[in-house]
Amino acid sequence: MITWSRTLDAAGVTDTALRADYTAQRRAATRFRPEAAWAVRLLVPPALVPHVLVATAFMHHTDKLLDGEAPQAERLAEYRAWSAAVTAALAREEADEPLLRALAHSAALHPPLRRCAQEFLATAQTELTASGFATEADYQAYLDDYSLPALMVVACLLAPDTAEVRTAARAYIDGSQRLDFVADLGEDLAAGRLGLPLTLLAEHGVSRAELVAAAETPGTRALLRHALRLAGDALDQGRAVLPLTPPAHRALLATLIGLDELTARAAAEAGPAALLRSGAGPAKPAALALLWRQWRAARRVDGEA
């Protein structure tokens, strides 16, 4: 992995103030999801790394505005102001905030990022009221309005924005989103949210109260097994994005899918009570081994280029 300064050089970010803006977004993306940020640094060609990290920081900042603890009316006002500021920055390619300056610069160099950022902002308000889903159809609508547009903010830098790529990306984010809702089930319930459709609970004879109580019952075990199976099937389908992606970018996408698969394994091994109390994440040794394998694969691609 080359130094951050040389990475900025490779990306053509030479202005001193702009370099500081990108550095701030690297830190923000690392705080958001450290293992993914380090995977970007290790696996993505240096010229693209700063732009992927800025897109990640933008997506997370927007999500945090919508999903915060402030009253809904306050979050809505903050989001509308943020959306207007982003739109203005992308139009003028300049702004007063570090994140917006870096985003505008990246979007000028990579036009699909401008379009995908605007598409995300157009429907992201869905997250404000997404405290749960009555049916599978409600969940699927959330996927189309929020999860997929959020993913495409980053994915448009790594793969061509075609119908085929979007179909595969939707399958991947379906699996990843379902997995997040299972792995974070206890935390979400404590915050008054439930990512599993109520119809799915009813099919397994499980009440919300049983989940809140972290009850270990045949019903909760069957429910979580079923939810993880749905996530795993979607992640498998999402692997179709890999051959549609330029070879130099495949290692990162394969790593992100692999990290989700490791999380699914950890969730399955934890059992309902432990999962509902502590959540689940990839085991560190397995995650490091995955990163090492993909780093070697990325180096082979570099050698063949």
Contact 294, 262 (CB under 8 A): no
Sign (positive/negative) of CA torsion 157, 145, 233, 194?
positive
Query: DSSP characters for 190-257?
Result: HTT-B-S-HHHHHHTT--HHHHHTT---HHHHHHHHHHHHHHHHHHHHHGGGGGGS-HHHHHHHHHHH
Q: What are phi and psi of 55, to 5 degrees?
A: -60, -40
DSSP state of 70: S
pLDDT tens-place string over residues 144-169: 999 999 999 999 999 999 999 999 99
Rounded Cα distance, 295 and 240, in Å: 20
Question: Which of the four pLDDT bands, split at 50, 70 and 90, describes residue 303?
Answer: low
pLDDT tens-place string over residues 32-63: 888 889 999 999 999 999 999 999 999 999 99
pLDDT tens-place string over residues 171-206: 999 999 999 999 999 999 998 899 999 999 999 999
Q: Do you know the residue count of the chain?
A: 305
For residues 215-243, give the mean pLDDT.
96
Rounded Cα distance, 29 and 173, in Å: 19
Which pTM does this prediction carry? 0.92
Contact 280, 181 (CB under 8 A): no
* Among 58, 60, 112, 56, residue whose Cα is nearest residue 85: 58
Q: What are phi and psi of 48, to 5 degrees?
A: -105, -20
pLDDT tens-place string over residues 89-144: 999 867 889 999 999 999 999 999 999 999 999 999 999 888 899 999 999 999 99
Rounded Cα distance, 273 and 277, in Å: 6
**Helix and strand element counts for the chain (H, E):** 17, 0
Rounded Cα distance, 187 and 192, in Å: 9
For residues 72-80, give the mean pLDDT.
94
Rounded Cα distance, 85 and 188, in Å: 30
